[in-house]
Amino acid sequence: MSTVILTGLPVPGSPLEDELRSLGFDVRAVPAPEDAPAALAGVPAGQRVAVVDSGFVGHPHALRLALTDPRFDACAVTGAFAVQPGARAALERAAALTPDGEGPYADRLAAAVEASGTAVQRPELGTLVAAVPSGAAERAEALAAVAAVDDEAVRLRSAVKARDGFFTTFFISPYSRYIARWCARRGLTPNQVTTASLLTALLAAGCAATGERWGYVTAGVLLLVSFVLDCTDGQLARYSLQYSTMGAWLDATFDRVKEYSFYAGLALGAARDGDDVWALALGSMILMTCRHVVDFSFNEANHDATANTSPTAALSDRLDSVGWTVWVRRMIILPIGERWAMIAVLTATTTPRIVFYALLIGCAFGALYTTAGRVLRSVTRRAKRTDRAAQALADLADSGPLAELVAKAASRPRPLPRLPFAVLGAALVVGVAWYEPFGSTTVIYAALIYALLSGVAVGIPPRGPLDWLLPPLFRAAEYTTVLVLAVKADVPGALPAAFGLVAAVAYHHYDTVYRIRGGSGAPPRWLVRATGGHEGRVLLTVVLAAVLAREAFPVALTAVAVFVALVVLVESIRFWVSAGAPAVHDEGEPA
């Protein structure tokens, strides 16, 4: 239960108390601000507590934004101020001093708390009203302003993601927001809708795996339904302000589980028709994952960078002022909405092979476009990379024990540009694996050199302008080596086993990203060491290929995949179930 302290004499006919109770607050009224400290002392320390002026006039959704958003320790609008337990001490100190000044008591408290060093979120209200009139005339004017704006319409509009793709914006959101409201009114949570989306996508993958035309058509329809639910869960979270750390994690990781499971379903369906497309399915997953890691690494590298004077960034800002270019630039990178729509339509009307060809071509173009733009921004900008950004890149590198040992030695000499070492190592291990016959011991030497060079590359904190490319380079080297060896093995089960291994490792890498995004830091080092790090897994894979018979290689890959999946999943679930990270919700560009 949350508690609100209503300060001042009640206003006859005001619906304020009923509105606060409808938001889940226990209302305790005090006649004057001087009585607020005593009332605050009577509220249990673990509760959210708010102070609201009894003369408040405004929309219920304005109060909801100020008083119930779980993402912020302290939040305020005119006449209303709420804190979570993390900012409770700051509120009590401010109340004990009875802050002087003019204006509503809640506003003075918020200003005092902010002055003490606690961040106070002030949500954008747009056309919503939040005011504390000083007289009858002002009150009548404020009430008229409230009546002139449809609170529910604003709430529905704000439920839609601030930055989304063309397909989602114009073909999904116009009706999915109403589905979100329907869910909210029936007490459904965003996590329940997210789970429904996952189950629908898995059912779609199962239909695709039949290899029958009816299965492909049904799979395409179900995939679109899954995407509608995927949009609905975020809109439900925004509509009802049900944000949570676990919800953000479920939404992000389930997207990958759904998409990659559907790839596997398509590959199974094609195999039933005598067409082996597992290499294409694995290639599509590798390309998509590496593209995402490029996005994550670049964003983390520049999360809190300053002095961005890049001409490329300036050009991008100018293009954003021309409306149609914004939509074109969002569409050509094939974001999740456009991508899933393309997959669904092509699945229903063509073959799995054509689906994967289209995916590979479209995603390759999008990856080249975004990566080239970010490289240009990086080489032309003058910005200082912070310690936090450097640590995030080091964590995303996923370096294991071998690279750690090399890094300790490599950090002593005078620092040199480290990106060329990573490029050379990645090219060497992939190139030798492709050139040499399956089982060649030469690939083991290439993997050892890769481990050495990757350790050199992370020997010092990654502060160079292009050092954000290190994590995606390591991902590409590891995943592609597994793909090449599975293709070279040329035995039944090798490529599906490789798909499973890359999927398990990719989950670990996505989990790392979302922990960092949620402000919780990277996974514990024991987990990285237990899974070998990227260089350890590469070395293990090439050793298995060299010492085992071809027929035993798929079994070994499957065993490694199961081990990695179990270790990573158990730790991931343990962490997210018990995470103390603040609630987050992604409003950024679609994945």
Rounded CA gap, 413 and 535, in Å?
22
Q: How confident is the model at residue 416 (pLDDT cuts 50, 70, 90)?
A: low
pLDDT of residue 523 exceeding 50, the answer is: yes
pLDDT of residue 221 exceeding 90, the answer is: yes
Least confident interval from 146-160, 169-183, 317-331, 492-506: 317-331
Q: Around Cβ 569, how many Cβ atoms within 10 Å?
A: 14
> For the chain, what is the mean pLDDT?
91
- The confidence score (pLDDT) of residue 408 equals 83
Query: 83: part of which helix (H) or strand (E)?
Result: strand 80-83
Domains and CATH numbers, the chain: 2-149 (3.90.550.10), 161-275+308-382 (1.20.120.1760)
- The confidence score (pLDDT) of residue 463 equals 84
Q: How confident is the model at residue 318 (pLDDT cuts 50, 70, 90)?
A: low
Q: Counting runs of H as helices and runs of E as strands, what totals does the chain give?
A: 26, 7
- The confidence score (pLDDT) of residue 411 equals 63
Q: Please report the DSSP string for 223-256 in residue order.
A: HHHHHHHHHHHHHHHHHHT---HHHHHHHHHHHH
Three-state DSSP at 554 gives: helix
pLDDT of residue 410 exceeding 80, the answer is: no
Least confident interval from 27-31, 467-471, 519-523: 519-523
Are 28 and 3 a contacting pair, CB within 8 Å?
A: yes
Least confident interval from 141-155, 324-338, 516-530: 324-338
Amino acid at 582: P
- Model-level pTM greater than 0.85? yes
Rounded CA gap, 543 and 309, in Å?
47
- The confidence score (pLDDT) of residue 316 equals 57
pLDDT of residue 305 exceeding 70, the answer is: no
- The confidence score (pLDDT) of residue 407 equals 86
Q: How confident is the model at residue 589 (pLDDT cuts 50, 70, 90)?
A: very low
- The confidence score (pLDDT) of residue 312 equals 54
Taking only the tens place, the pLDDT of each residue in 445-454 is: 999 999 999 9
How large a percentage of the chain has pLDDT more than 90?
Answer: 77
pLDDT of residue 570 exceeding 90, the answer is: yes
The helix-helix angle for 245-272 and 190-208 (nearest 10°) equals 10
Beta strands 49-53 and 2-7, pairing class: parallel
Q: What is the mean pLDDT of residues 144-159?
A: 96
- The confidence score (pLDDT) of residue 581 equals 65
- pLDDT, greater one: 383 or 35: 35
Sign of the alpha-carbon dihedral angle for 364, 540, 532, 432: negative
Least confident interval from 169-173, 393-397, 414-418, 567-571: 414-418
Rounded CA gap, 481 and 557, in Å?
13
- The confidence score (pLDDT) of residue 562 equals 98
